[in-house]
Amino acid sequence: MWRRGGRPAGEASCRSFSYRHHPPKNIYNQNNLFLCGVACRGVFSVKKPSAAPERTLEVLQQFRLIFGAMRQHFREVEARCGLPGAQMWVLQEVQRQPGIGVSELAGLMGIHQSTCSLMVDRLVALGCLERKAMHRDRRRVGLCLAAQGEAAIEALPGPAEGVLPAALSSLPEVALKTLQINLDELIRHIPGKNEAFARTPLAEIVQSDMKG
């Protein structure tokens, strides 16, 4: 004979039992234990509902709008300044912080140092940048705008880094954090991701598409 006991805390779908005598022989059968565990813990495989096609299309159109705005901006930057957007971003940051080093510049832009070095070399060759020894530490070389670089900066139609970074910076902290969480979830569902793109200037990604 056995009597019914109370429910375990947090497991409302299961009942516990106590026995005065020996329990039934098959009560510890593996199948029974498995089914009891499933019932107690609610371990069921439930497929999440997919987003409605209309909603998916609306979000896709939002991405098209963002990408189109970036491409249009970088086209205008190159047309007015005569330099690609990524190189103009380098010039703009050097203007903001004269004497900045390549490693600092790469960190500020969130790109690989090798990528930054190549752009700096190109801009020095074009007469847009100069390398100068710093007064406090002659061993340290910093970057400064040259005449061609100053002329290019004056022709900028807007932020050299593009319209997207400026828009993100204008968002409230809560909205930006929510966007980050949602984008993380979206990226998780994209197959074949190339992590190298995370440290590639937007202008290079967009303009390579324009040239292709």
Per-residue pLDDT reduced to its tens digit, 11-34: 444 444 444 455 555 544 545 544
Q: What is the pLDDT of residue 14?
A: 45
Residue 111 DSSP class: S
| CA–CA separation, 29 and 160 (whole Å) | 70
CA distances from 59 to 1, 31, 66 (A): 62, 46, 11
Q: What is the pLDDT of residue 205?
A: 87
Q: Which residue has 């300044």 as its token pair?
A: 81
- H helix or E strand, kind and range, residue 3: strand 2-4
Exposed/middle/buried for residue 184 (C-beta within 10 Å: 0-12, 13-18, 19+): exposed
- Which of 58, 87, 62, 111 is CA-nearest to residue 162? 87
Q: What is the pLDDT of residue 38?
A: 46
Domain with CATH 1.10.10.10 in the chain: 55-211
Q: Which CATH number fits domain 55-211: 1.10.2020.10, 3.40.50.300, 1.10.10.10, 3.40.50.12280?
A: 1.10.10.10
Residues of the chain with pLDDT under 70: 1-50, 134-139, 208-212
Contact 209, 72 (CB under 8 A): no
| CA–CA separation, 185 and 170 (whole Å) | 23
What number of CA atoms fall less than 13 Å from residue 127's CA on the CB side? Answer: 3
Question: What's at 135, amino acid-wise?
Answer: H
Cα 26 to chain centroid distance, Å, stands at: 55
Q: What is the pLDDT of residues 156-175, one digit of tens each?
A: 999 999 999 999 999 999 99
Q: What is the pLDDT of residue 140?
A: 77
Q: Please spell the DSSP secondary structure of 141-208, one letter per residue.
A: EEEEE-HHHHHHHHT-SS-TT-HHHHHHHTS-HHHHHHHHHHHHHHHHT-SS--GGGGGS-HHHHHHH
Q: How do beta strands 129-133 and 2-4 pair?
A: unpaired
Contact 157, 77 (CB under 8 A): yes
Residues 6+ apart with CB under 8 A from 70: 162, 163, 164, 202, 206
